[in-house]
C-alpha cells in the first residue's frame, strides 16, 4: 500500500496530493457530507447518528493510515494527546455552556451535546492527522529546495519553510516537556503536592483550578520552548540562503 512508506513517495507533490486527499473531508466536508445525507435518507438513522457513523468510519481510515506508518507506540502517543486535548475542550465547553447558557445560543441540550461530540471526534481525527502530515516532509529538504529557487517567491518560500520547521519542532518539544512534567507530577493528571485537596466541598473548585493552570502551563511551555530556537534556526536558514545566492561549487 502506498502509505506504508510515505516519505519515499516521490515526487513530493504526489505525497502532498495523497495527504490532502486523505484530509479532504476535513477541508471540504466531501464526501462525508454526501454519505451522511444518503445514509440518513435511506435508513432509519437520524441525521445525527448517520453523521457519527460516517465520520467514525472516516476516523478509522485516517487512524489506519497513521498507525500503519508511525507504528503502535507513536500512534498511541498521538491518540493520547488527542484524547486529552479533545476531552479537555469538550468538558470545558460543556461546563462553560452550563455556567453561561448564553453561549449555547438557544440550542437545545441535545444539540449542544451533539456539537461537543462532533468537536471531540474532529480533534481525535485531525490532531493525529496534522502531526502525521507535518512530519511526512523533511524541513531540511524543503529549505534546500526553496533556497535553490529563483524569483520573487523565494523569500516567501523561505519564511514558509521556517514556519514549517517551527511547527515540526513543536512535536520534539512536547516529548521533552513530557519528561519534565513526569518528574514534577508523576501521576501525570494530578499535582504531585495536593495535601490541601482533602478540604471536601472545595475540591471541585480546586480540581478545575488545577486543570486550568495545567493547560495554561502546557500552552505557554510549548510556545516558549518552540519559539526559543527560532533566532538560531533563522541564522542557519540565512546561511543556506546566502550560500545558494553566492552559488555552491
> Would you tell me which residues interact with other proteins (CB under 8 A)?
7, 69-71, 73-74, 132, 135-136, 138-140, 143-144, 165, 168-169, 172, 175-177, 179-184, 186, 191-197, 206, 209-210, 213, 217, 220-225, 227-240, 242-243, 248-249
> Which of 30, 227 has the CB closer to other proteins?
227
The CB-of-92 to other proteins minimum distance in angstroms stands at: 19
Q: Which three cell numbers stand for residue 183?
A: 518528574
What's the min distance (Å) between Cβ of 200 and other proteins?
Answer: 14
Cell of 81: 494527546
Q: Which is nearer to other proteins, 152 or 193 (CB)?
A: 193
Q: Which is nearer to other proteins, 122 or 170 (CB)?
A: 170
- The nearer residue to other proteins, 120 or 139, going by C-beta atoms, is 139
CA neighbor of 122 nearest in space, from 56, 219, 72: 56
Min dist CB 105 to other proteins, Å, is 34
Query: What is the SS3 assignment for the chain?
Result: CHHHHHHHCCCHHHHHHHHHHHCHHHHHCCCHHHHHHHHHHHCCCCHHHHHHHHHHHHHHHHHHHHHHHHCHHHHHHHHHHHHHHHHHHHHHHHHHHHHCHHHHCCCCHHHHHHHHHHHHHHHHHHHHHHHHHHHCCCHHHHHHHHHHCCCCHHHHHHHHHHHHHHHHHHHHHHHHHHHHHHHHCCCCCCCCCCHHHHCHHHHHHHHHHHHHHHHHHHHHHHHHHHHCCHHHHHHHHHHHHHHHHHCCC
**Closest distance of CB 52 from other proteins, Å:** 29
Nearer to other proteins, 151 or 196 (CB): 196
**Considering the complex, what minimum distance in angstroms separates the CB of residue 51 from other proteins?**
31
Q: Least separation, in Å, of the C-beta of 192 and other proteins?
A: 7
Q: Which is nearer to other proteins, 44 or 232 (CB)?
A: 232
Amino acid at each position: 500500500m502506498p502509505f506504508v512508506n510515505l516519505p519515499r513517495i516521490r515526487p513530493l507533490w504526489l505525497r502532498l496530493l495523497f495527504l490532502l486527499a486523505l484530509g479532504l473531508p476535513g477541508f471540504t466536508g466531501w464526501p462525508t457530507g454526501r454519505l451522511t445525507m444518503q445514509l440518513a435518507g435511506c435508513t432509519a438513522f437520524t441525521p445525527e447518528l448517520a453523521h457519527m457513523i460516517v465520520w467514525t468510519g472516516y476516523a478509522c481510515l485516517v487512524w489506519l493510515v497513521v498507525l500503519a506508518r508511525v507504528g503502535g507506540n507513536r500512534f498511541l502517543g498521538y491518540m493520547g494527546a488527542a484524547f486529552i486535548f479533545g476531552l479537555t475542550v469538550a468538558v470545558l465547553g460543556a461546563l462553560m455552556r452550563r455556567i453561561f447558557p448564553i453561549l449555547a445560543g438557544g440550542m437545545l441540550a441535545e444539540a449542544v451535546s451533539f456539537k461537543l461530540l462532533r468537536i471531540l471526534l474532529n480533534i481525535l481525527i485531525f490532531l493525529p492527522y496534522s502531526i502525521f502530515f507535518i512530519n511526512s516532509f523533511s524541513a531540511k529538504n524543503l529549505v534546500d529546495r526553496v533556497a535553490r529557487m529563483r524569483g520573487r517567491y523565494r523569500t516567501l518560500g523561505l519564511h514558509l519553510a521556517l514556519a514549517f520547521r517551527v511547527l515540526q519542532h513543536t512535536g520534539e518539544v512536547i516529548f521533552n516537556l513530557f519528561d519534565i512534567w513526569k518528574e514534577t507530577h508523576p501521576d501525570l493528571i494530578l499535582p504531585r503536592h495536593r495535601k490541601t485537596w482533602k478540604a471536601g466541598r472545595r475540591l471541585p473548585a480546586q480540581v478545575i483550578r488545577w486543570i486550568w493552570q495545567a493547560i495554561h502551563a502546557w500552552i505557554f511551555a510549548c510556545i516558549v520552548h518552540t519559539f526559543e530556537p527560532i533566532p538560531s534556526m533563522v541564522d542557519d536558514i540565512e546561511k543556506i540562503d546566502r550560500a545558494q545566492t553566492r552559488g555552491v561549487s
